[in-house]
Amino acid sequence: MAIYSANNPPSGNSTPLAAWTKDTVKVTDGAERQLGKDAFLTLLLTQLQNQDPTNPMDNTEMTAQLAQFSQLEQLANINGAVETMTGYIQAQNQFQTLSMIGKDVLAENDQLSVTDGQQDVKAGIYASEASKLIIYIVNADGQQVRMLDKGLVAAGSTTALDWDGRDSKGNKVADGAYKFQVQATSVTGEILEDGVYPEVSGKITSVSFDASGQPIVHMGHASLNLSQVIQILESGQLTGQPGDGDGPGAEETGTESANS
């Protein structure tokens, strides 16, 4: 059966039938229209009115069509109810996320935050095997502002990223969000792709929501998704902070140096 757009009714009609209007039939791709409830009933009534008196429409066939349409309508109603319920659950989760403000979190993330010239997010790098670590700190534009050579670190250790908030020339960097990138090489000089994990910890200062409504928590200028959070505790009770000896590795290693 052909489905006509509202502005192009079947031949012989000067105006579109009400069932074919935009208000009653959903638009799919701009050219076709789905068969809505009103359109189905209009077609059924038109079919009954114009049936051949000598060969009327079979009652069984009509009943089957009505039953199928009834099932489809129920499924559509269920789908609408589920979408409404999902919206309520999402809103509830958003409000629950607000309770995280003021709490300390430990997360697998590579963002740093500088406020008033000071690093206000602790960071560390966990190495599962002995390796040489070089850390590059970059700004929001992807430009390198500092390089920290941590030297050789032991296997299973967490190395603190102690950055003084200055660039390679010794100047204080602007407040904002920064990222750290880790280059790890084995004792034999091979680049390690796995086994090195960045971690950050700090106090949640605010919560925002992306375009899809998913929450994003912020530690100063740094931001992270909830899926990256490893631990949440009341302020001042956080354990396992990067580089404090309580994380995945119990040993803090490495010394800081800067190359201009």
Question: Which pLDDT belongs to residue 247?
Answer: 45
For 15, how many CA atoms within 13 A lie in the half-sphere containing its CB? 4
What is the rounded distance in angstroms from the CA atom of residue 35 to the CA atom of residue 19? 9
Question: Which pLDDT belongs to residue 190?
Answer: 85
Q: Are strands 196-203 and 122-127 parallel, antiparallel or unpaired?
A: antiparallel
What is the rounded distance in angstroms from the CA atom of residue 87 to the CA atom of residue 142? 37
Q: Where are the domains of the chain?
A: 18-97, 101-233
> Domain 101-233 - what CATH class?
mainly beta
Whole-model pTM: value is 0.56
Question: Which pLDDT belongs to residue 144?
Answer: 92
Q: Which two tokens stand for residue 253?
A: 């290693």
Question: Which pLDDT belongs to residue 85?
Answer: 77
Burial 137-167 (b: 16+ CB within 10 A, else e): bbbeeeeebbbbebeebeeebbbbbbbebeb
DSSP class of residue 227? G
Averages of pLDDT over each 10 residues, the chain, 260 residues: 47 48 50 60 76 74 74 78 74 75 88 87 88 91 91 88 89 92 87 84 87 84 87 68 50 41
What is the rounded distance in angstroms from the CA atom of residue 250 to the CA atom of residue 72? 60
What is the rounded distance in angstroms from the CA atom of residue 146 to the CA atom of residue 180? 9
